[in-house]
């Protein structure tokens, strides 16, 4: 690649073929004058989505990416840096959500944590250095973990929640904690069934750690990094949580377009905006978890 002289913003949406991903791509391609990159770990799925979008008159750039490989992510970052000088918006899509009726097994838990946590960490670590000043980073989280996270933080023993809360959270501590959780899953520990919650809380704590590290040069870069929850989306997996009226515990399910727009509001916050930053957001409002307040 050679440096492209282009004043348009550069957007990257990872795991774009999953869940709300295609809807987010359509939103960004039609509502912003940007060069939109979409990634997929599957060449077949990526090409199918790319071909469909092309038929709709949209022109995102497909990059087959292995998010489990820091080397491949770093190569992608180098390609973007060489071609465009950097990235303005990074959205990491939530790769997988377990249906409500799914019975958790060890391999499933490990797969979900690798896809929705460790792969996201690889992407953020690899691409954050090339996010330009006033850039926006949105880490998407599945809603079951958000919805039930409050109850977990309230009821679980402190040794299980310590890695997610307090003012001394660091990226390294969260990664170590998630690894310890995986080991507990393999040994049949009693909190095994909380995998969606653990992933979401891990992402929230990790993003807080990222923001703390950014404080050194935040005045210069003015980045905004947040976690976005889609809510109860009426997707195939999401519908398993909804009753016959389309609600979950009184909370109304939302369509893909609304879910995408709410999360991408974070990606489109105008230059000069100071907040939100380091927060978990749903329906354009911060989710109030006492355990995530600085102590």
Residue 28 has pLDDT above 90, yes or no: yes
Looking at residue 112, what is its pLDDT?
80
Q: Are 203 and 225 in contact (CB under 8 A)?
A: no
Task: Give all strands of the β-sheet with 34-40 in edge-to-edge order.
Answer: 61-64, 34-40, 9-14, 87-92, 131-141, 224-229, 280-282, 285-286
Structural domains of the chain ordered from first start: 9-292 (3.40.50.720)
pLDDT, one tens digit per residue, over 105-156 is: 556 777 888 888 889 999 999 999 999 999 999 999 877 667 677 777 777 7
Tokens of 295: 């102590």
Looking at residue 100, what is its pLDDT?
55
pLDDT band at 295 (very low <50, low <70, confident <90, very high): very low
Q: Are 266 and 224 in contact (CB under 8 A)?
A: yes
Rounded distance, CA 230 to CA 111, Å?
Answer: 21
């Amino acid at each position: 690649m050679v440096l492209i002289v282009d004043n348009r913003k550069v957007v990257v949406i990872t795991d774009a073929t999953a869940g709300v991903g295609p809807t987010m791509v359509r939103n960004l391609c039609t509502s912003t004058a940007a060069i939109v990159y979409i990634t997929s770990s599957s060449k077949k799925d990526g090409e199918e989505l790319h071909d469909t979008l092309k038929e709709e008159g949209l022109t995102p750039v497909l990059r087959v990416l292995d998010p489990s490989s820091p080397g491949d992510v770093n190569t992608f970052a180098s390609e973007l840096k060489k071609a465009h000088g950097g990235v303005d918006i990074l959205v990491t899509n939530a790769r997988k959500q377990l249906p409500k009726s799914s019975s958790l097994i060890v391999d499933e838990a490990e797969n979900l944590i690798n896809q929705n946590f460790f792969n996201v960490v690889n992407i953020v670590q690899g691409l954050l250095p090339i996010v330009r000043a006033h850039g926006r980073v949105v880490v998407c989280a599945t809603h079951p973990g958000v919805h039930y996270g409050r109850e977990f933080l309230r009821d679980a023993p402190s040794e299980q929640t310590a890695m997610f809360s307090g003012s001394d959270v660091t990226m390294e501590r969260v990664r170590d904690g998630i690894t310890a959780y995986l080991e507990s899953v393999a040994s049949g520990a009693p909190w095994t069934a909380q995998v969606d919650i653990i992933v979401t809380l891990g992402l929230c704590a990790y993003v807080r750690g990222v923001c703390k590290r950014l404080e050194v040069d935040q005045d210069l870069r003015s980045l905004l990094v947040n976690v976005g929850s889609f809510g109860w989306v009426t997707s195939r997996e999401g519908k398993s949580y909804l009753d016959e009226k389309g609600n979950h515990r009184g909370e109304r399910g939302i369509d893909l377009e609304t879910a995408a727009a709410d999360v991408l509001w974070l990606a489109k916050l105008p230059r000069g905006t100071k907040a939100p930053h380091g927060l978990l957001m749903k329906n354009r409002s911060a989710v109030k978890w006492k355990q995530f307040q600085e102590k």
